[in-house]
Amino acid sequence: IPQDLSGKMLTFPKEEDDDDVKLMTPK
């Protein structure tokens, strides 16, 4: 897994950055 902004956002907990995760991962 590349240590890019996208990767970091995906790995970050949803509770931590729900907004960021939503932007990166479409529901």
pLDDT digits (tens, 9 = 90+) for 4-15: 555 555 555 555
pTM above 0.75, yes or no: no
State pLDDT tens for residues 15-25: 555 565 565 55
E-state strands within 1-27: none
Judge residue 27's burial from the number of C-beta atoms within 10 Å of its C-beta, 0-12 exposed, 13-18 middle, 19 or more buried: exposed
- In this prediction, residue 1 has a pLDDT band, given cuts at 50, 70 and 90, of very low
User: What 8-state DSSP symbol labels residue 4?
Assistant: S
